[in-house]
Structure 1
Amino acid sequence: MRRFLIAFLQLMVVAAFIRWSVYVFAVDTSAGGFFTENSLGIAFGISFFALIFALSFLGSLYPTNLAKYWKDGKVGVGEVQTYEHRGLKNGVRNYRIAMQVEGEDGAVFDGILSVPVGKRRLPALHQGQILPVVYRAKKPKQLYVPHGPLKERAQLFYDFYCLRTGRVDQLTLNAGYYGLPGRAVIAQEMSDGLVFPGKERLHLDLSVFTPDGHQFPSTATVLVDAYQKDVLHQARYLEVKYLPEALEKVAVRIPKAPKVG
């Protein structure tokens, strides 16, 4: 509310500048002719400041980071229940995703996430997929992609949720946060089958290569959907992180999907 009040006051200032410009121009031209040097200079100067105020007005209406205005922002993890295509937005398909959300305070509720999904990410959208989300306490059913000050908090809660539900183990999580970068190739793969909706657990035996030329055997456990599994198999190598004091397990970064179209 305060933001719109400030915007309204700025608009009033712009209107006052324009009205004063018209008045000065009229007085000056009546005294010295149709266009005088003085009247043009004054009109240009006032128009310039009016433009600055107008841009400030628009910026206050459309802030670049809405999250910094949230005093009741919360984070959670949403599980996709259903989704539907709702047309194009800036050339990208926009989807309305119905989710069941677990908030950081333990509350469980249903919410809606409206978000553009590009061709590269579209195959990964499926029922049962979990995503970090943010929302306002007074409007919990309207979900947003984590952004601004809430982004890091949302990722931390997402990792905690995955750890608690058995989607990741502590050693893998530690390697992901604190590990050193390396590359790996898959030597062997074993599957536990579908352990979560749409997700298969794979156990990978890896040969890991460090930036300084060393090599060591290790393992990794990853959860992938059918599309991610296919991308994993197509990759020439995997980006990993490892802890020098715990080389038996590494964190694997699932490769990005190739561009489509």
Structure 2
Amino acid sequence: MKTKARALALAFGAVAFGYYLWHGLTFQSDSPYDSGWVSWQMSLPIIAMTVVPMVFAFTGDGILQALTGANSSEFRGGQIGLGTVKSFHHTGVTLNDQPQVRIEFSVEGADGKVFDSAAKMIVPLTELGLLRPGVVLPVRYLPGRTDKVEVDLSGNSAEAQRAMNESMIRKGFTTKAKLDIAERGIPAQAVVQSLSVPGEIRDGHSKIELGLVVTRPDGSTFGTRAEKFLPPAAVGNVQVGRIVQVFYLPENELEVVLALPVNA
């Protein structure tokens, strides 16, 4: 869509200027005061000089997505990857007083390969504080092209969750059995009674072992233990005394899955 819009704008500009020049050069008049250069045709290049820059501005990276609330047609069918924010900065462009930012990502593709890329998007001022290094966002990318991605705007949380699950399995953070518990299990709250850190590290995530007291839906409780790999910033969410969300299967209360937000 962006390419077509820009091509049409350029074509209109070329036709407008071409017609104006042709009319001025070929115009013939018997009056010395009647010039072919000053006529209604003069409005065509003026309109073109207004329309063409506007089309290029509004079809810039991140601008069209902000106006439509959807990814560009080029990336709409792209693959889902996981983009970890490395840094970001303002580009100097704003839309309705909302800044455009360029975000530098480390992207993990669907095949597990990692590459550096970047995206431009309009970020509301109220959400700018949530954008920080280490935040993980679902992104759309094109296989074979690593220089550019788009933050996924499809709202397809299931597809993003699948990408996250596959990544966690590849890195050894979880198993298919635990994901099955998270999908089919009973949600419950648990209190952290103990916390230990064995010292094992995977991909910058520390292994933690928790002693939990889980409250069943009927109000009764049971004790169990759980293991999870967490980034350093998330360890504070599982300190002793904290209430956490868990999932379990009634037929196997020894196996409990801890649920924490991705960007906790």
**Aligned CA distance change for structure 1 residues 154 and 204 (closer, same or farther; 3 Å):** same
Say yes or no: does 1:158 pair with 2:152: no
SS in 1 for 2:253: strand
Gap regions ≥5 residues in structure 2: 10-57, 59-63
Matched residue pairs, number? 205
| Corresponding residue to 1:111 among 107, 111, 117 | 117
CA distance in 1, matches of 2:213, 2:183: 21
Q: Quote the residue 1:76 is aligned against.
A: 81
| Corresponding residue to 2:238 among 217, 228, 232 | 232
CA distance in 2, matches of 1:148, 1:97: 21
Q: Quote the residue 2:228 is aligned against.
A: 222
Conserved 8 A contact 1:241-1:252: yes
CA distance in 1, matches of 2:148, 2:221: 48
Q: Quote the residue 1:183 is aligned against.
A: 189
Residue 92 of structure 1 and its aligned partner are, at CA, apart by 8.3
CA distance in 2, matches of 1:234, 1:257: 20
- Tell me the amino acid that sits aligned with residue 76 of structure 1: G
CA distance in 1, matches of 2:102, 2:198: 32
The structure where helix makes up a greater share of residues is 1
**Aligned CA distance change for structure 1 residues 203 and 87 (closer, same or farther; 3 Å):** farther
**What is the aligned-residue RMSD (CA, Å)?**
4.2
Gap regions ≥5 residues in structure 1: 10-57
Conserved 8 A contact 1:231-1:257: no
Say yes or no: does 1:97 pair with 2:104: yes
Residue 222 of structure 1 and its aligned partner are, at CA, apart by 2.1
CA distance in 2, matches of 1:137, 1:159: 20
Conserved 8 A contact 1:85-1:94: yes
| Corresponding residue to 2:177 among 159, 163, 171 | 171
Q: Quote the residue 1:66 is aligned against.
A: 71
Conserved 8 A contact 1:67-1:150: no
String of CA shifts for 1:167-223, please: whole Å, max 9, x gaps.
Answer: 113332222222111000112222133513442111111110022212112222222
| Corresponding residue to 1:207 among 204, 213, 221 | 213
Deviates more, 1:217-226 or 1:158-167: 217-226
SS in 1 for 2:197: strand
Conserved 8 A contact 2:75-2:150: no
SS in 2 for 1:66: coil
- Using structure 2 for the length normalisation, give the TM-score: 0.59
CA distance in 2, matches of 1:236, 1:213: 18
CA distance in 2, matches of 1:157, 1:255: 15
Identity of paired residues, percent? Answer: 23
